A and B are shown apart, each in its own frame.
Chain A
């Protein structure tokens, strides 16, 4: 069974204090790993797809990296508007290639 574990559950940072969020996964044949941002009461917003170990993607202050067992979302010099829940999801290959398995998320709070 595919599993995704995100840590920490919650993270408080001061504005400008860089940090990383972790997503550990077990999946039979990774087709893709996805990062989403979710604001309270809103739908998840797609950020990145990573397909293979060693791949990196960047968007503004966010950088996602992937190894064979985990992914990191690095946040550089965060601002209060980066406060949100960050979700990680994996998609397996083969017959279940429609299915995303989500972690429970990391709630990030950036204080001014």
Chain B
């Protein structure tokens, strides 16, 4: 079984709709992250969380919110989706004592 899972894997939604992307991990890591990936722009950090009570904005947090429901679960919400939020979204985890991050399989989101 995959260590980091994301649901849904693909989603098409309309402008103005609220949508939630979910991430679960079985690696036992404390730290979790949400990134988006756009062609030509690379991976950019949206939000990160060091534990359930510690949530921080990344470099492109406008239009997004997150919830850390448990050590193993971290959700990303788009309050009112817009077309330029069409992208690949990745969840990642890391252990406090190590620096490398482990990524989930991604969610392809299309906003029409």
Contact = CB atoms under 8 A, between A and B. Distances in A.
Nearest to A9: B40
Interface residues of B, number: 24
B72 to A, nearest CB: 17
Interface in B63-98: 88, 90, 92, 94
A85 to B, nearest CB: 10
A107 to B, nearest CB: 11
B34 interface: no
Interface residues of A, number: 22
A12 to B, nearest CB: 19
Interface in A97-112: 97-100, 102-105
Given A49-B100, A97-B99, A44 B90 contact: yes
Contact of A46 (B45, B90, B102): B102
Contacts of B103: 36, 43-46
B42 A103 contact: yes
A32 B100 contact: yes
A83 interface: no
A101 to B, nearest CB: 9
A73 interface: no
Contact of B43 (A49, A97, A102): A102
Interface of B: 4, 31, 33, 40-43, 45, 48, 50, 58, 88, 90, 92, 94, 99-106, 108
